[in-house]
C-alpha cells in the first residue's frame, strides 16, 4: 500500500460526494470505486507519450556529480511569516551565469520536502543534467500552503475549506514574495522563457492555475495528476490564441489508475478542442511517486530549450 493510498481514497470519496451533491453519479454507488481502484474510464488518446524511465533513474548514481539542496527562507506579507522553500542548485553552477528556474509544487498532504524526500527529484535532476539531457537549472520547491501555520494538516481536516484555501493564497505569495526573493539571492534568470512551474496533485492544480493565469511570468507549465483545485478549462484558458502564442510547453500527465484523472482529461479534451498544443501523458501508475518521478524525468528534459 502506498503512502498516498489513504489520501487518494479520501479524495475519491470527496470527489464522489461533490458529484453526488451536483446530482451526477448519484444513481451508481459503484462509481467512486471504478474511478479509484481499477482503471479509470479511458479514451483512445489517453495513452503514454513516453516510455517508462530507465531503472534507477531516481536513485543516487555513483560517480555522478550531485547538486546541492538547501533551505531558503523568505518573508511573506501574504502569511505575515518567514516561509521556507527547498532550493536545488545544479552541480558546478557558477555565480556569473543566470540559470533557468523551475518552481515545483507539492500535494495536499505534503510540504516543501515532498519533492526531495518522497519523489527524490534531486537524483532525477542530477542524472539528467550529468548526461546533458536536461539544461542545468535551479529548482525551487516551496511550501504551497500559504497559511500562518503551514505544517501539513491532520488527515481528518485535510479537505477543510480553510486548508484548501491556503493553496489558492499561495498565488500571491509566489508572485510577490518568493520569486523576487529567489531572484535576489540566487543566480536565477528573471526572464519568463527561463521560468517554469509544475506540481503534483494539489500542486498540479496550482501550477496550472498560476502558470496559465500568468502567461507573462511562465512559459513552461505542467500539471501532474492535478487535483480538483484546478480551475475549469474555460477559465484556465480564456484566450486560446494567447496560450498558443505564449506557452513554450504545456504538459499534462496522470496515471491511468488515478481516481482524479477526470480533472486532467477534462483539460486535455478542452485544449484539444481549442487546438492548444500540449503534451498528454497517461502512464500506468496511480496517484503516487512513480507517476510524479517519471513525469518530472520527462518534463525536465523538455524545458528551457
Ligand atoms: C480533492 C481531492 C484531492 C481535492 C484535493 C485533492 C481540493 C488533493 C490531493 C493531493 O494533493 O494529493 O477533492 O480538493
Pairing of strands 81-89, 138-142: antiparallel
163: helix, coil or strand? helix
Nearest to 46 by CA among 225, 268, 263, 244: 268
In a domain, 184, yes or no: no
Q: In testing the pocket of ligand 1, which one of 109, 119, 164, 202 has its CB within 8 Å of the most ligand atoms?
A: 202
Q: Is the CB of 230 under 6 A from ligand 1?
A: no
pLDDT digits (tens, 9 = 90+) for 184-211: 999 999 999 999 999 999 999 999 999 9
- Residue located nearest, by CA, to atom 5 of ligand 1: 227
Share of the chain above pLDDT 90, in %: 87
Range of the structural domain that residue 233 is part of: 53-178+196-280
Distance CA 120, CA 39 (A): 26
Q: Cα of 293 to ligand 1 centre, how many Å? A: 19
pLDDT at 155: 96
Q: Positive or negative, the Cα torsion across 305, 268, 119, 174?
A: positive
In a domain, 18, yes or no: no
Distance CA 223, CA 108 (A): 14
For residues 270 and 241, the answer to whether their CB atoms sit within 8 Å is no
The number of the ligand 1 atom at minimal distance from the alpha carbon of 202 is: 11
Distance CA 126, CA 133 (A): 10
pLDDT digits (tens, 9 = 90+) for 73-102: 999 999 999 999 999 999 999 999 999 999
In a domain, 273, yes or no: yes
Q: Which three cell numbers stand for residue 228?
A: 480538483
Q: Which three cell numbers stand for residue 136?
A: 542545468
In a domain, 7, yes or no: no
Q: Cα of 73 to ligand 1 centre, how many Å? A: 27
* Confidence tier at 39 by pLDDT (50, 70, 90): low
Number of domains in the chain: 1
Q: Which three cell numbers stand for residue 52?
A: 517508462
Q: Is the CB of 12 under 6 A from ligand 1?
A: no
Q: Is the CB of 228 under 6 A from ligand 1?
A: yes
In a domain, 186, yes or no: no
For residues 129 and 190, the answer to whether their CB atoms sit within 8 Å is no
Q: Which three cell numbers stand for residue 149?
A: 501555520
In a domain, 82, yes or no: yes
Q: Cα of 215 to ligand 1 centre, how many Å? A: 24
Distance CA 31, CA 25 (A): 7
* Confidence tier at 227 by pLDDT (50, 70, 90): very high
- Residue located nearest, by CA, to atom 14 of ligand 1: 228
| Sheet containing 101-105: order of strands | 68-76, 81-89, 138-142, 101-105, 195-200, 220-224, 249-255, 279-283
CA dihedral 270, 274, 278, 282 (to 10 degrees): 30
* Confidence tier at 44 by pLDDT (50, 70, 90): very high
Q: Cα of 185 to ligand 1 centre, how many Å? A: 33
DSSP state of 49: S
For residues 160 and 153, the answer to whether their CB atoms sit within 8 Å is yes
- Compute φ and ψ for 186, nearest 5 degrees: -115, 160
Q: Is the CB of 108 under 6 A from ligand 1?
A: yes
Q: Is the CB of 205 under 6 A from ligand 1?
A: no
- Residue located nearest, by CA, to atom 3 of ligand 1: 11
In a domain, 22, yes or no: no
pLDDT at 40: 80
Q: Cα of 12 to ligand 1 centre, how many Å? A: 9
Q: Which three cell numbers stand for residue 84?
A: 521556507
pTM, two decimals, is 0.89
286: helix, coil or strand? coil
In a domain, 77, yes or no: yes
Distance CA 87, CA 122 (A): 10
Share of the chain above pLDDT 70, in %: 87
CA dihedral 257, 41, 10, 149 (to 10 degrees): 80
- What CATH number corresponds to the domain at position 141? 3.40.50.1820
Q: Is the CB of 14 under 6 A from ligand 1?
A: yes
Highest mean pLDDT among 3-7, 22-26, 219-223 belongs to: 219-223
pLDDT digits (tens, 9 = 90+) for 230-262: 999 999 999 999 999 999 999 999 999 999 999
Position with higher pLDDT, 174 vs 23: 174
Q: In testing the pocket of ligand 1, which one of 169, 228, 286 has its CB within 8 Å of the most ligand atoms?
A: 228
Amino acid at each position: 500500500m502506498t503512502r498516498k493510498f489513504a489520501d487518494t481514497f479520501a479524495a475519491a470519496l470527496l470527489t464522489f460526494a461533490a458529484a453526488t451533491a451536483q446530482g451526477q453519479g448519484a444513481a451508481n454507488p459503484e462509481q467512486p470505486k471504478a474511478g479509484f481502484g481499477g482503471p479509470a474510464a479511458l479514451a483512445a488518446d489517453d495513452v503514454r507519450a513516453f516510455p517508462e524511465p530507465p531503472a534507477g533513474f531516481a536513485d543516487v548514481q555513483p560517480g555522478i556529480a550531485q547538486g546541492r539542496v538547501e533551505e531558503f527562507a523568505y518573508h511573506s506579507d501574504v502569511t505575515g511569516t518567514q516561509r521556507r522553500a527547498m532550493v536545488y542548485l545544479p552541480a558546478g553552477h557558477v555565480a556569473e551565469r543566470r540559470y533557468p528556474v523551475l518552481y515545483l509544487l507539492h500535494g495536499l498532504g505534503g510540504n516543501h520536502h515532498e519533492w526531495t524526500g518522497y519523489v527524490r527529484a534531486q537524483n532525477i535532476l542530477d542524472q539528467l543534467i550529468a548526461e546533458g539531457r536536461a539544461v542545468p537549472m535551479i529548482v525551487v520547491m516551496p511550501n504551497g500552503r500559504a497559511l500562518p501555520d503551514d505544517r501539513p494538516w491532520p488527515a481528518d481536516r485535510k479537505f477543510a475549506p480553510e486548508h484548501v484555501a491556503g493553496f489558492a493564497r499561495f498565488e500571491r505569495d509566489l508572485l510577490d514574495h518568493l520569486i523576487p526573493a529567489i531572484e535576489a539571492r540566487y543566480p536565477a534568470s528573471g526572464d519568463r522563457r527561463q521560468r517554469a512551474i509544475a506540481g503534483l496533485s494539489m500542486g498540479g492544480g496550482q501550477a496550472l492555475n498560476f502558470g496559465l493565469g500568468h502567461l507573462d511570468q511562465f512559459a513552461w507549465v505542467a500539471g501532474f495528476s492535478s487535483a480538483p483545485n484546478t480551475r475549469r478549462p474555460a477559465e484556465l484558458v480564456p484566450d486560446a490564441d494567447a496560450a498558443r502564442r505564449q506557452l513554450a510547453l504545456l504538459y499534462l500527465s496522470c496515471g491511468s489508475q488515478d481516481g482524479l484523472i477526470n480533472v486532467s482529461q477534462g483539460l486535455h479534451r478542452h485544449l484539444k478542442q481549442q487546438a492548444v498544443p500540449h503534451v498528454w501523458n497517461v502512464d500506468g501508475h496511480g496517484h503516487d511517486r512513480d507517476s510524479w518521478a517519471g513525469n518530472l524525468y520527462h518534463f525536465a528534459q523538455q524545458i528551457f530549450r
